[in-house]
Amino acid sequence: MEQQNPIQWFPGHMAKAKRLVQENLKLVDVVIELVDARIPASSRNPMIDDILGNKPRLVILNKADLADEEVTGQWQRTMKGANSLALALDSVRGKGINQVTPMARALVAEKMKQIKAAGRRARAVRCMVVGIPNVGKSSFINRLSGRKSTKTGDMPGVTKGKQMIKINNDLELLDTPGILWPKFEDVEVAYKLAATGAIKEQVVNVEEVALYLLKIIVQTKPDKVLTRYKLKEIPEEMLTLLEEIGAKRGLLLRGGVTDTYKAAVLVLKEFREGKLGRISLEYPNQ
């Protein structure tokens, strides 16, 4: 699609976010990076590797219940490295949450072994959570911590008021998530972020986003569209498809013309709620 991207890249916000994350890095053993499982590349900060350096990283593919399971598995294998692991997770229902602590510990097993060998007391793995807005950081932290969590108090050398949340005997979380920003200069990234709800609809053209979303779904899972909206075939033009979907749902203006705005809102809502099925919008090595 050739529309101009209305969303801007905020270098001021990014510089501040980067600085805050880097200041906290020295306090933790592992960084837990949250991304949206439907768009793992687009929902990452483009400078994440530069920001985190060699710090052990656990990538959480959040909202995995909404993404194609096979594609998410491919992303997990792609993101696994010498110093990183990836985990598919549904923070709302908690599926996969029990694997967070053992995977975080696995990333720093050698470091903990050295601490013990030096005669020092074994301690919990300290983590911080980072990610762009709206990937579910709060839901993840709440699900992980539960009601049993307690704050362990101020740490030496830490800014006053900054605390670690004790998750269990093996894991602690820095209480402030690291907010990073996506890069909007690529219109494809902007549309994917908008489709998943990571960008407020007020700053994008809802119909353009819905047309973009339909184009991707039609290319990868056309049967999902046919089944959900009870269509016999997919028309060549996505605008025609949007009009047919609106007509099927009775979203009509005077004269029987489809209200494409309402149809677009409907498509986006049903995609985000998983009513179209489990759909990934991007694949590894695309």
pLDDT, residue 248, reads 96
* CATH code, domain carrying 106: 3.40.50.300
Domain identity same for 107 and 228: no
Distance CA 129, CA 137 (A): 7
Domain end among 135, 163, 179: 179
Helix axes 260-272, 206-220, angle to 10 degrees: 60
DSSP at 275? T
Other beta carbons within 10 Å of 208: 16
In this prediction, residue 8 carries a pLDDT of 56
Backbone angles phi, psi at 255, to 5 degrees: 90, 5
Question: Does residue 194 belong to any structural domain of this protein?
Answer: no
How deeply is 161 buried, as exposed, middle or buried, from its count of CB atoms within 10 A (0-12, 13-18, 19+)? Answer: exposed
Say what the pLDDT of residue 157 is.
Answer: 40
Residues 44, 110: one domain? yes
90, β-bridge pairs: 95
pLDDT value, residue 159: 42
Supply the pLDDT for residue 9: 53
Residues 49 and 172 in one domain: yes
pLDDT for 222 equals 97
Looking at the fold, whether 152 and 61 belong to one and the same domain comes out as yes
Q: Is 184 within a domain?
A: no
Residues 149 and 60 in one domain: yes
In a domain, 196, yes or no: no
Per-position pLDDT tens, the chain of length 286: 444 444 555 667 777 888 889 989 999 999 999 999 999 999 998 889 999 999 999 999 999 999 999 999 999 999 999 899 999 999 778 899 999 999 999 999 988 888 888 888 888 999 999 999 889 888 898 889 885 444 444 444 444 456 888 999 999 999 888 888 887 778 889 899 999 998 876 667 999 999 999 999 999 999 999 999 999 999 999 999 999 999 999 999 999 999 999 999 999 999 999 999 999 999 998 7
The pair of structure tokens assigned to 44 is 């990452």
Asked whether residue 256 is assigned to any structural domain, the reply reads yes
How far apart are alpha carbons 267 and 270 in whole angstroms? 5
> Are 97 and 46 within one domain?
yes
42 and 130 share a domain?
Answer: yes
Is the same domain home to 118 and 238?
no
The count of domains in the chain is 2
127 domain residue, yes or no:
yes
Is the same domain home to 52 and 96?
A: yes
CATH code, 264: 1.10.1580.10
Contact call for residues 181 and 174 (beta carbons, < 8 A): no
Same domain membership, residue 22 and residue 80: yes
Is residue 186 domain-resident?
A: no
Residues 31-82 have pLDDT tens digits of 999 999 999 999 998 889 999 999 999 999 999 999 999 999 999 999 999 8
Q: Is pTM beyond 0.85 here?
A: yes
Asked if residue 109 and residue 156 are part of one domain, the reply reads yes
Tell me the residue range of the domain where 58 lies: 11-179
